[in-house]
Structures are given as C-alpha cells and as structure tokens.
Homo-oligomer: A and B are copies of this chain.
Amino acid sequence: MENNPLQLILNPRSIATVGAGNNPTKMGTIQALSIVKDGYPGKFYPLHPTEKEVFGFPAYKTAYDLPEPPDLVMFVLPAPLVVKIMEDFGKIGTKRAIVITAGFRETGVEGRQLEEQLKAVAARFGIRFLGPNCMGVINSDLPLNVTVCPLSGEPGLLGIASQSGTYITQTLPYLQDKGIRLAKAISVGNEGDLDLTDALDYLGSDQQCRAVALYIEGLKDVGRFLKVARRVTAQKPVVAQYVGGSDAGARAGSSHTGALAGPDNLYDGLFRQAGIIRVSTVEELYYHGWMLASQPPLKGKRIGVLTNSGGPGTAIAHTCNAGGLDVPPFSDNLQQEIRKHLPPHGAIGNPVDLTFHMDAEVISATLPDLILKSKEIDGLVIHGLMGTGFLKAIYPHVAELFGEMSAEEFTSHFERDLTKALSIPERYDLPVVVSSFFGREDNFTSAYRDRGIPVFDGPEKAAKAMLALYRYSLVRQRTADQKTVIPPVSARAQEIIGAAVHSGHRILDEYASKQILAAYGIPVCRELPARSINEAMEAASEIGYPLVLKGCSIDFAHKTGHGLVHLNLQDEIQLRSAYRKIGHAAGQEIPVLVAKMIKGERELMAGLTRHPAFGPAVLFGLGGVLAEALQDRTFRLAPLTSGDAFEMINEIKAAAIIGSYRGLPKVDLKVLASILQTVGNLGLLHPEIEAVDLNPVIISGADPVVVDALVVLNENVAAR
C-alpha cells in the first residue's frame, strides 16, 4: 500500500482546489466545501483568478503563488483549462491530482485528444491522478470528503470503488439512512491514469476497510485485476456488480466512462476465479458489502430465524435454504426454553414465530440471547423488531383511549431501553441481521443501524445478506492448489503453427490442431493422416478397428453436414466404402484422417477465446449435440491453477455427469483439469493462437479424449 499512489490522494497533508469559488450553486464549490466542512485536518489552498478569499480561506491566483507545493490538487474547472494548470502544478512539484472535470474521452474525438494531453503532462511530471470525469474520494478516517454530499457519522468499515461517480455521491444520504458507513470511497471516472484495480489494491490493503465493494462497467486490464483481486479476497471479502454485458448496457456504459465492456459470462468467470462475490443490483452491492464489513464471519451453515410473523419467517428460511444454508430444527431443550416465552400458538422449532405482539423484550433480547448462546446456530436473522415506528402508526387510532397523552408521551411510554438488546450480538461474535419494514422512524431500526447491526427492508434481503457471508466463507475455504505452472514452448507446436503461417492459413486442419494439443500432453484420439486409400488401409491396420474416417481439409469446415465423417467402421469393406463416399462428397480425393473410434455417453467441450482486455480465457462446458442449445459453459482467465480448473468442472449445470453417473465411472478429474490448464497455457505460450476448440471431449470409460479440435490463428499472424 505504501507504494500505491492512492495512499497520498486519500491522505494528503495539503490540498489545492482549482475552479471552486464562492458561488454555492456550482458543483465545484460544493465539492470544495465538503473538504472544509467535513473536517479535513490538512491545509486547504483554493486557487481562484478573481476572488481574494474562498470560504474565508485566502485564495491564490496560480500554482506559483502557493506557499508550498500541495500534496494534492483537485480540478473542478472546465476541461480545456485543466491541462495547462496541471502543468503548473507539475512544475511546482505536486505529485497527485483528482480531475473531477468532465468533457474528456467520454465526449468523442476532441475530448480524447484532451485526455491524451492530460496524461502526457501528468506523465512528464510524475503526477498520478484520478479521473477525469470522476466524483472524487472519501476517507472517513482522516477525514477527507471531496464529493458533493456531506459525510456524517463515525468512520466507516466498507471500502468502495466505482466506475460511476453517482454511487459514492448521490447515494450518500441513502447510505447514511441505512447505517451503511463507508471507510473509503474512490470514484475512478475515465481512469485516465489510476484505475479500478489500483483502487481495489488500495482498499484491499487499507486496515479500515473490512470489506470492499466494486461497481464495474468494464476493466482495461483483466489479468492485473485478477492478480490483485485474488490477493485481496484471501484477506477480506470483495463484492462486485458488473453491468455492461448487454447491448444497451454497453452503450450506456461506454458513453459514460468509455471503458471497455465485455461479455457477461467472462466477467462471471473472472469474479469466481478471483473469489469475488458477484451481486446483481446496487442495493445488493451496498447491503452485502455492509453485511460483510460489519459482521463477523459465518463459521458454519446453521441459521436461526426469529420472527413475529409466519410470512417473513418462511421467506427467510426459504431464501437461506435456496442459497445453501441450513435452518435446522432446534434441540428439544432449546425448544422448551423458547416455549416458556411464547404464546401457545407461536412456533418454537426454527423459524421461531412469536406471532404479533406488543412487548418487544422477548424478540429483541430474551430469545436472541437464548438462541445465540445455545451454540446450535452460526448466524441469526430476526424479523419483527418494531417500536416507535409501529407506535406512531397506531397513535392516531388509540390516542383517545390514552386520554391526554401526546404522541411523544405515547411512544416514549412504550419505548424500551434497547441497551441489552443491542449488546447481545457482539457478545457472541456471531453474525446477526435484521429485517424490518420500518425505517428510521422506528427506534429499533435506528438504534440497530447506528450500532452497526444491519437492518434491511425485507426478509429476503436479510437472508441474502447472510448468504453473502456464506459465499465468502466458501471463498476462504478454497483449498485446491492455486499455483500456476506454465511449461516451456513446444518446438513441435511452434513448427506446426509456423507452417500454417507460412502457407497463409488462419485455420489449422483437424490433424494439425490435434497435433498441437498432443504436443502439450492433451489426450487426443489415436489417428493418422492419409492421402490415399492405401495409406488409409495401412493406418487402419496400425490403429485397429472400429475406426472413424474423416475428410481432413480446411476447405470443409462443417464436416458432418457434408458427408465427410463416417463413424464406427468395423472392417476394410466399410473403410473402403467410407473413403469413396468422402471423395464423392468433396468432389475430389482429399486427405483423410483415420482415427480410433471413441465411444462414450458423456461429451464435454473446452476451448480458448480472446476478448479485448481479457487476454486468453479458457472455456469449459457441456459438449455434444446439446452444447449449442444449452450453452452450459464457464470461463476462466489463463493461466489456470488446478483449483481454477476443478472449480470450472464443478460449476457447469451438467456437473453431475462428471461424477459416477448412471452406472458410468467417475471422470478422471486430474486429466480433465490438466486439459483445461493446458488450453490456457496454449494461449499464453502462443500469442498467434486466436482461438481453440476441443469439441467434443468424449469421456471414454473414465478418460477424457479429444475427438475433434480446431486451432485458429489471429488475423495479423495469418496475414504476414
């Protein structure tokens, strides 16, 4: 972290602002005010061309007039003016900047040029900067807030980095209402210099951040992100929302930060590989982030559910179960203990349902204490804490019966001392989350939120937050080998690729493709090429029947459709006949492949694909006739650890067929994992390779065998 340029951006001893004056209807002014008003302890130097003072602080005309080079300069003035003044600051020795100003790359050609100039100037003077087109940063610990909205309350626990500034500005009042306290927040904007990965790196090392939330529309260097993310998730939870996989989503995202959007399923694989918990809404980003930041880890799968109503209890239990958690019945002992405090029609098993009642002591203190103390659960979800919110709601109706009592007297009359209730969760060091339909108008909601016990506005949301803890516990349990081993380049593979390049072919034929795979130890079906019927007969006697005969020419891409593939040939007669048919189908004698017939009821597929920003990524999925219809696939970035490969294998929907399945033996997992790792290595060792298909990989007995394959080189290579 010491080396992370963000350390100084979030902890400067002095800040200069450029463009903020005393007009409070300007966004820049409001942002500069946040620095001053939210208690920034360092020096504040406003630059202004005309004003003598800004917010009572002496104003300086230029960087050269400053008493010292500030640690950080923040730009809020129009885009065309930024570059020149950045240069001034470079000259006086300032090394960090935040460029709030919009109107750069996101606006088109001219803006792009302006951004390049900005980057050039910064690079010349060694200035590291956030933005342009960003909303700034928050460091609740220092404190430092340069965003539009005020920061309030205690220093927080959640770190957040966002490619959309709104999620750390417009949402601050929303977050404060929910009791979600940010530790640090970083808006990365156009990522002209420092990017989301730098921010993750920084938040990952920051002691104050107990969890990290990321809003992502597109990463520029996925490999670097993965490396950093893996390191961070081994230490603390990271949740992320990725948006941009759809057409309109990508269009919206690119007009915003100009970042590169990528296919949704690649990001899905990336997050799994990195141990990042993916969420699908910004509410989940905040809620799950806060749950992970504020609560102790979930040490097991047993969840207790405590409610004052059957509906929410059912929903919580169901949501927990659906996500893999258990809601086990309590022991007889514990049930008897609980029974003492419930009306006869209450339920004691788990979920515990007190049913509707007005005394909150039982649900907020007595029962949580009993249940947490029991050691029968690893986490607790409560629905039905309600005090002043409910009292205020019914006051208009009951007022008359309470005589002259005012609304305030009425609510305070029934208001409980929550000291005991609030202290219970921390006493047992187990995660607790509350669901309530009451907001801050209710004293329970307010007090719990202020105490750092999450209160979310719906039973399913509370349960899903508990599931986020569970998902992180699974990340921490990843035990498989996480090292990557990349073999040396195979001379044989290089030679085959070279030959293709030389002959101007982008697509390698099936034999050449499989030879490359074989050169790296991937099991391919035994096969020999032949250019005549005699060669084919010779090959057949070497390999032995039953055989497959295929036309092997890159001119015929979809072989099956052309009558160029003949399966399960039993003898010479059938071989000869098949050879003739291939010649007939192709309209001429073409090279053939004589291959061992591989049988197996299970067909898988693997492959290599490149996507801009991603580098080589490995695909694994269901193969065979259903592959296209079901698209049951998962991705990982190369290089793959064996852990990555095993996770891929277990992750497809059809994963059950990999094990002992309908009388078939368990697939040799080591070989299958090794195939996936090797496919990834191919992409790293041979940058000429654009894509690889291994489809199908038939499971013969327990053994994966590649039966068909295709290697495609990239356009530039083939054009050489």
Q: 8 Å CB contacts to B: which residues of A482-529? A: none
Identical chains bound together, number: 2
Q: Whole-angstrom distance from the CB of A506 to the nearest CB of chain B?
A: 24
Q: Which of B29, B312, B396, B460 contacts A166 (CB 8 A)?
A: B312
Q: Whole-angstrom distance from the CB of A171 to the nearest CB of chain B?
A: 5
Quick one: CB contact mask for A275-316 with B, threshold 8 Å, 1 for yes? 000001111000000000000000000000100111111111
Residues on the B chain within 8 Å of A396, using CB: 37, 150
Bin the interface of chain A by size. Answer: 35 or more
Residues on the B chain within 8 Å of A340, using CB: none
* A253 within 8 A of partner (CB): yes
A172 to B257, CA, bound (A): 41
Q: Is the CB of B437 within 8 A of A281?
A: no
Q: Is the CB of A315 within 8 A of B243?
A: yes
- When C-beta atoms are compared, the residue in chain B nearest to A357 turns out to be B27
Q: Whole-angstrom distance from the CB of A146 to the nearest CB of chain B?
A: 12
* A577 within 8 A of partner (CB): no
A659 to B632, CA, bound (A): 19
* A117 within 8 A of partner (CB): no
* A662 within 8 A of partner (CB): yes
**When A311-B282, A396-B150, A661-B629 are in contact, do A27 and B356 touch as well, CB less than 8 Å?**
yes
Residues on the B chain within 8 Å of A97, using CB: none
* A170 within 8 A of partner (CB): yes
Residues on the B chain within 8 Å of A312, using CB: 164, 166, 282
Q: Whole-angstrom distance from the CB of A567 to the nearest CB of chain B?
A: 12
* A461 within 8 A of partner (CB): yes
Q: Is the CB of B625 within 8 A of A317?
A: no
* A655 within 8 A of partner (CB): yes
Q: Whole-angstrom distance from the CB of A449 to the nearest CB of chain B?
A: 14
* A155 within 8 A of partner (CB): no
Q: Is the CB of B657 within 8 A of A164?
A: no
Q: Is the CB of B217 within 8 A of A314?
A: yes
- When C-beta atoms are compared, the residue in chain B nearest to A664 turns out to be B625
**When A22-B401, A356-B165, A396-B37 are in contact, do A457 and B283 touch as well, CB less than 8 Å?**
yes
Q: Which of B166, B347, B561 contacts A309 (CB 8 A)?
A: B166
Q: 8 Å CB contacts to B: which residues of A116-152? A: 133, 135, 148-150
Q: Is the CB of B321 within 8 A of A106?
A: no
* A701 within 8 A of partner (CB): no
Residues on the B chain within 8 Å of A311, using CB: 162-167, 215, 217, 243, 256, 282
A173 to B38, CA, bound (A): 34
The stretch among A229-237, A322-330, A364-372, A707-715 that forms the contact with chain B is: A322-330
